[in-house]
Amino acid sequence: MLQIAYALAKDPTIKTDTTLIYANTSVGDIMLKDVLDGMAEKHSTFHVHHVVSLVCLMLCVAAVSSLLRGWPSRP
């Protein structure tokens, strides 16, 4: 995750907006918060949203699973 964020943030030719939804069950579980927030402040195309809740974590997983069901698979 962090490697992808670094690659997108450091390449000025990539203009794609990227949003990281980082779900954790407690504030203490958030790893690299300062690094991710700093990248979001420095790079206008990178955004991070911290979600802290077990219920929100389960909802995020369900939403991503739902999106992936419609994603075309590779042969």
Tell me phi and psi for residue 46, to 5 degrees. Answer: -115, 130
Classify residue 15: in a domain, yes or no: yes
Classify residue 48: in a domain, yes or no: yes
Classify residue 11: in a domain, yes or no: yes
pTM above 0.85, yes or no: no
Q: Which whole number is the average pLDDT over 59-68? A: 75
Classify residue 75: in a domain, yes or no: no
Residue 57 belongs to domain spanning: 2-69
Classify residue 6: in a domain, yes or no: yes
Predicted local distance difference test score (pLDDT) of residue 17: 84
Residue 49 near residue 21, CB atoms below 8 Å:
yes
Residue 36 near residue 3, CB atoms below 8 Å:
no
Q: How far apart are CA 74 and CA 22, in angstroms?
A: 27
What are the tens digits of pLDDT across the range 5-49?
A: 888 777 888 888 888 888 887 888 888 999 999 999 988 888 898
Predicted local distance difference test score (pLDDT) of residue 41: 92
Number of domains in the chain: 1
Query: 51 in helix, strand or coil?
Result: strand
Classify residue 54: in a domain, yes or no: yes
Classify residue 19: in a domain, yes or no: yes
Classify residue 74: in a domain, yes or no: no
Amino acid at 62: A
